[in-house]
């Protein structure tokens, strides 16, 4: 599903468009200068399907050079090893969770809690992820004339990172992961790393960015109203009552 000249939706699960495995998040592909990078990797339960979809849209596996993860939750990160093995792509992960990802730590990634709550199959396991680069706030990555910029964005998860994509003549897009949906809902969970005070600070800070589009980890995306979504959420947090939650 093509979104802009340089961005397409490569995968999406039951909380989105149902394109691949139900446990997949929205996985976005950014293409420029004959190469492709992915933002998030899905659950790993539909790797072949993801690669077929990309190839059908003119993105062969050998052009996928990098995978950028927004956070360590399994629906976003567990697919990274299989995609990396099949393409040779380097995995970039938030610095706060890189060690846990390398260790395949299902407790630190909160997969244990999610599995116990019935959100994943009982036999689903968190893989060891070969993280090639630890992402810090302000890191910039070039894809041709495009620039992908990392922003620490804790709230939904302690390691949550969003990525701002900008380039000449292109809309400025925020890959929002699980921070916020385009309908203004947030993703609160009863886990130790989901903190409302950090959530409010992150939304306030990101609402001051000059963005056009908002591409979340689940549900619909927008290429025109991203700034308004963040502004409304910031105003809601300012009342000390968070926006409604997806879960």
Per-residue confidence of the chain (247 residues) as pLDDT tens digits?
Answer: 899 999 999 999 999 999 999 999 999 999 998 999 999 999 999 999 999 999 999 999 999 999 999 999 999 999 999 999 999 999 999 999 999 999 999 999 999 999 999 999 999 999 999 999 999 999 999 999 999 999 999 999 999 999 999 999 999 999 999 999 999 999 999 998 999 999 999 999 999 999 999 999 999 999 999 999 999 999 999 999 999 998 6
d(CA 165, CA 174): 6
> Is residue 246 included in any domain, yes or no?
no
Nearest to 30 by CA among 62, 85, 68, 56: 68
> Is residue 242 included in any domain, yes or no?
no
CATH number at residue 210: 3.60.15.10
Would you state the structure tokens that stand for residue 2, as one six-digit string?
Answer: 């093509």
Would you state the structure tokens that stand for residue 97, as one six-digit string?
Answer: 């969770």
Domain count, the chain: 1
Would you state the structure tokens that stand for residue 154, as one six-digit string?
Answer: 């804790």
> Is residue 247 included in any domain, yes or no?
no
Domain residue limits at 178: 7-237
> Is residue 89 included in any domain, yes or no?
yes
Q: What is the pTM of this model?
A: 0.97
> Is residue 103 included in any domain, yes or no?
yes
Question: Is residue 112 a contact partner of residue 118, using CB atoms and an 8 Å limit?
Answer: no
Contacts of 241 (CB under 8 A, 6+ apart): none
């Amino acid at each position: 599903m093509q979104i802009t000249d340089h961005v397409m939706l490569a995968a999406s699960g039951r909380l989105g468009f149902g394109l691949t495995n139900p446990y997949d998040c929205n996985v976005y592909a950014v293409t420029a200068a004959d190469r492709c990078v992915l933002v998030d990797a899905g659950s790993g339960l539909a790797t072949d399907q993801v690669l077929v979809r990309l190839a059908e849209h003119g993105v062969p596996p050998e052009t996928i050079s990098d995978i950028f993860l927004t956070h360590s939750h399994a629906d976003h990160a567990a697919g990274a090893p299989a995609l990396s093995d099949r393409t040779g792509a380097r995995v970039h992960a938030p610095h706060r969770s890189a060690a846990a990802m390398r260790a395949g730590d299902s407790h630190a990634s909160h997969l244990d809690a999610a599995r116990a709550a019935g959100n994943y199959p009982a036999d689903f396991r968190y893989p060891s992820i070969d993280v090639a680069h630890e992402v810090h706030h302000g890191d910039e990555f070039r894809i041709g004339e495009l620039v992908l910029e990392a922003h620490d964005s804790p709230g939904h998860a302690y390691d949550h990172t969003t990525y701002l994509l900008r380039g000449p003549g292109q809309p400025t897009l925020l890959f929002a992961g699980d921070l916020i949906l385009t309908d203004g809902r947030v993703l609160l969970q009863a886990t130790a790393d989901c903190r409302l005070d950090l959530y409010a600070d992150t939304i306030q800070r990101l609402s001051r960015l000059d963005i056009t589009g908002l591409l979340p980890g689940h549900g619909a995306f927008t290429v025109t109203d991203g700034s308004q979504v963040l502004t409304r959420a910031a105003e809601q947090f300012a009342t000390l009552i968070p926006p409604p939650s997806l879960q």
